[in-house]
Chains A and B, each alone.
Chain A
Amino acid sequence: MNMINIKVAAIEQVTPLVKHFTFVNKDGTALPAFSGGSHVVVSLDINGRVHRNPYSLMGSPEDTSAYHISVRKQEKSRGGSEYMHENVAVGMQFKITYPVNLFSLAKKGRKHILIAGGIGITPFMSQIADLKRTGADYELHYAFRSPEHGAFVSELEQGCGTKFHCYTDSNGERLNLDELLSQQPLGTHVYVCGPNSMVVAVLEKARNFGWPENHIHSEQFLAPPIGEPFKMQLARSNKEILVPAEMSMLEAIEAAGVEADFLCRGGVCGRCELQVLETDGALMHNDHFLTDAEKASCKKIMPCVSRAKCERLVLDI
């Protein structure tokens, strides 16, 4: 896979749990162009093991002199976010993928309602830059736990003015989805990024009010869960490998030197899909991509987030 070599130019502690990283091209030239809502996958070599995590680009798409990402330190991290917080320093170099957009704004939308929860604010930061540039009608609704966890609030207040609404949970402020989604003009699109409960609530509410599917957008990268170790066979590469408890199938495949496709590494894009040739146990599908019927058929698996509980698993790679 084609990668970009970057250098960490700045690090800023934004909230007790969130750090903002600024990346520049290692050779000092401009970085590839991107559109609002794009993400990159950051590749980190931690004690000889390669970690690859997706992060949304937060900067303005008009500025390609640097990329900006924010990382929330996860409590049950498999190491990636903790490493970013504890070990990454200004001047360090690593590789990232080219930006990919799986959460783009609907070009024909007449109005855009953006709903963010916590660190889910990041993809909206670049989208807002796009919305402001095109003069589109939008509203940003941002909910977070308590005042000290409201990352980028003052920046957003300044940049978005009355279009910005925030809800501090510890002050008892709640976003009223009924009010928000029942009275939007025709041609409005809704976008949500945040914790699972929030994403589910927004999707359900919009659907119940009769919003067409193509007006409802969500982004929720899943972190690969930690599980039991298991063995799998890669038929085309003729290899048998072990998937350790803290590695995803995709990471194990890559660690074995086999090249595999991916875009989001979070179970949403579908790019990493592999055919299951044989299995004698259960596949534990954790993705948001396959349909329930496909999951039940045990013929396909998304190795970036899913696992298996079996003695024998043969994949077509």
Chain B
Amino acid sequence: MERGYWIRSKPVYTSLMWQEKATSHLVVAQGSGGMAVLKIFQQMHPKQPITVLYAPSSDSIVDYASTLKKVVPEGLQLFDSVQEMLTTLKEILPTMYMGMRVYVAGSEGFIWTIAESAKEFGIEDIDMIKELTGTLARSIYCVHCKAITHNITTNIGKCAGCERMLFVRDHFSRRLGAYMGLMVDAESPGQLPEIEEIYP
């Protein structure tokens, strides 16, 4: 990657850190994101109310639920699936007030699923603190057939929809939670550059 070059739509992920100025805190995590939650609870706890939502993930070997139960002092809710978690999230958000800080940790797909739900309640993704955990695997949307293919770990991946070989770009769609994929061998069919794992 060229230095000093940045695609503006590419999201920025950091580490979860409590925000002192707040009316309440909502921590949402899935799978390996549980580790980020354990880490944030190592920091001094804020004085405002805290809610923690956690669901396991099939791509994380470790389920942090039982450790979280021991570490999170209050407001922990455990779910079997992200779907269940989203239902609860949509019930909680209308009762929350401005100044609630949102912290999200997990895979990229999870982070943007949460961002999409939060947006309906007026929370913008730039105002959420996001930590990417576990894997850098990307979801890609095919600009040719519009299908979305998950868990791409290589620079080039096959579209699950039209089977074209797609080059994975840094352009990111917040709405789709996926990176742009462009056909690689459009000019010279069948001639592919080397496929390497770069999003382990």
Q: Which residues of A contact B (CB under 8 A)?
A: 108-110, 181-188, 207-212, 214-215
Compute how far the CA of A182 lies from the CA of B96 in the bound complex, rounded to whole angstroms: 10
Say whether B124 contacts A182, CB under 8 Å: no
* Cross-chain contact of A186 among B21, B22, B122, B126 (Cβ < 8 A): B122
Please, which residues of chain B bring their CB within 8 A of the CB of A188?
98, 122
Asked if B99 lies at the interface with its beta carbon under 8 angstroms from chain A, I say yes
| Contacts A109-B122, A212-B124; A186 near B23 (Cβ below 8 A) | no
Compute how far the CA of A151 lies from the CA of B99 in the bound complex, rounded to whole angstroms: 33
Compute how far the CA of A51 lies from the CA of B127 in the bound complex, rounded to whole angstroms: 43
Q: Which residues of B contact A (CB under 8 A)?
A: 19, 21-23, 93-94, 96-101, 121-124, 126-127
Please, which residues of chain B bring their CB within 8 A of the CB of A186?
93-94, 96-98, 100, 121-123
Closest to B118 in A: A186
Known: A184-B98, A186-B121, A209-B99. 13 other contacts (CB 8 A): A108-B122, A109-B122, A181-B98, A183-B97, A185-B97, A186-B123, A188-B122, A207-B21, A210-B21, A210-B101, A211-B98, A211-B99, A212-B126
Between-chain CB contacts (< 8 Å), 8 pairs:
A182-B23, A184-B98, A185-B94, A186-B98, A186-B100, A209-B21, A210-B19, A211-B99
* Interface residues of chain A: helix, strand, loop or mixed (majority): loop
Say whether A110 contacts B122, CB under 8 Å: yes
Please, which residues of chain B bring their CB within 8 A of the CB of A108?
122
Compute how far the CA of A184 lies from the CA of B122 in the bound complex, rounded to whole angstroms: 12
Most buried by A among B94, B97, B99: B99
Closest to B19 in A: A210
Please, which residues of chain A bring their CB within 8 A of the CB of B22?
209-210
Please, which residues of chain A bring their CB within 8 A of the CB of B93?
186
Please, which residues of chain B bring their CB within 8 A of the CB of A187?
98, 121-123
Compute how far the CA of A207 lies from the CA of B121 in the bound complex, rounded to whole angstroms: 20
Say whether A209 contacts B23, CB under 8 Å: yes
Chain B: minimal CB distance from A16 (Å): 38
